[in-house]
Structure 1
Amino acid sequence: MPSKSLNSRISAYKAIFSNGEFQRTYQDLVGIVQTLRTEFSKKYKSEYSTANVLHGYVDFTYFYLQNDYLKKKKLKLAIVFNHKNANFELWLLGQTKDVQVLYWKKLREVKWVNEGAMPEYSIFEVPLLLAPDFDNSTKLSESIHSQFKTLSKEIFNTLAAYE
């Protein structure tokens, strides 16, 4: 199905912005990711370097975490807010596309890896928090930190097993 022309999509685009709700919601969600980044930076200061928050288009808001082990392997972890699904994910990324392809092939048997097709931006993407409670920031933060701790440990054990 061919996509509509840009001109024919403009009215829907303008409607999304008309009452300011989209902008406020987007800014609030980005603010949550920025708060998480600050927390991760403080909480894991001795374990990881934490990059600034980055914005995809309107699809992803994320920040990278890297330690010496990941750096040697040219890998990064990313805490990602997926705007389309309104959930948090943990991604394993390569510093280059070649590194991502190498690890995607190497880790194909791992439960998180889609062996049929490599994700566009990562080696794999693991749900971190599927149904976040955005109105309870303390619970949200605790849940993400708890899941990150568990999943990152699993990811490091998996990477070590596939050396």
Structure 2
Amino acid sequence: MNTPPSKFSHHVAAYKAQLDKGDIQQAYAGLVKFVMRLGSTLEKKLAKHYAVGNLFQGYMDYTYFYYTNDFLKERKLKFGLVLNHSKMRFEIWLLGQTIPIQEKYWAFFKTTQWNEGRTTKPTYAILETSLIDAPNFDDLELLAKQIEKKLIIVSKAIIQDVKKSKLQ
């Protein structure tokens, strides 16, 4: 009796074939290492403005770290600098500590530029915005500088909108 393989078995076989090539392990390890170094660099450079948290590797979907300041903490908010693996881009997410906080801030942010074209709240965040759409991984020093520069600008703009919301 010849039983066709299950979809899961097919996926596992395809996964193993890709692992046998070695590219995935090298790319994933390199991406995680870059985001880890970026977090360490930003923690030092932005210490006056933000506290930077630990790196989370995710499940080959997102690699990220949190950063926050007293203003955001008072509102039970924080930012995430996220490497979105499926879209291969860097994003900033505004996150709430609890679902009620996320819902409260989503009610304000759903009609702002940050959620333009969105009709539903993002799965994990109040807002998700692209920081670097097509990162050039051939020059990691330049990429880190681009991320830092845009992170500062976008974070300040989002904080200004949080202030406009007058939510606590």
Is 2:164 the partner of 1:161? yes
1:135 counterpart (133, 138, 146): 138
Q: CA RMSD in A?
A: 1.2
- Structure 1: which amino acid aligns with 2:7? S
Aligned equivalent of 2:85, options 69, 83, 86 = 83
AA in 2 matched with 1:144: I
Structure 2 unmatched ranges of 5 or more? 1-5
One of 118, 121, 125 as aligned partner of 1:122 = 125
The equivalent of 1:25 in structure 2 is 27
Per the TM alignment, residue 63 of structure 1 is displaced from its structure 2 partner at its CA by: 0.3
Identity across matched positions, percent: 36
In the TM superposition, 1:65-84 aligns within 5 A as 65-84=67-86
Cα deviation, residue 8, structure 1: 2.8
Aligned amino acid, residue 93 of structure 2: W
C-alpha distance in 2 between matches for 1:8 and 1:29: 27
Q: Which amino acid aligns with 1:23?
A: Q
TM-score by length of 2: 0.91
Q: Which has the larger radius of gyration?
A: 2
Letter in 1 for 2:157: E
CA drift of 1:78 comes to 0.7
Q: CA deviation at 1:138?
A: 1.6
CA 1:115–1:20: 2 relative to 1, 3 Å = closer
- Determine which structure has greater relative contact order: mean sequence separation of CA pairs < 8 Å that are 6+ residues apart, divided by chain length: 2
Specify the code of the residue in structure 1 equivalent to 2:94: L
* Deviation for aligned residue 1:5: 3.1
Output the CA distance in 2 between the equivalents of 1:160 and 1:79.
21
SS of equivalent to 1:117: coil
**1:112-153: CA deviation from partner (whole Å, max 9, x where unpaired):** 125411111111111110111111012101110110111111
Which of structure 1's runs of 4+ aligned residues deviate more than 3 A? none
* Residue equivalent to 2:3: none
Letter in 2 for 1:130: D
Aligned residues: 160
Distance 2:25 2:118 in 1: 37
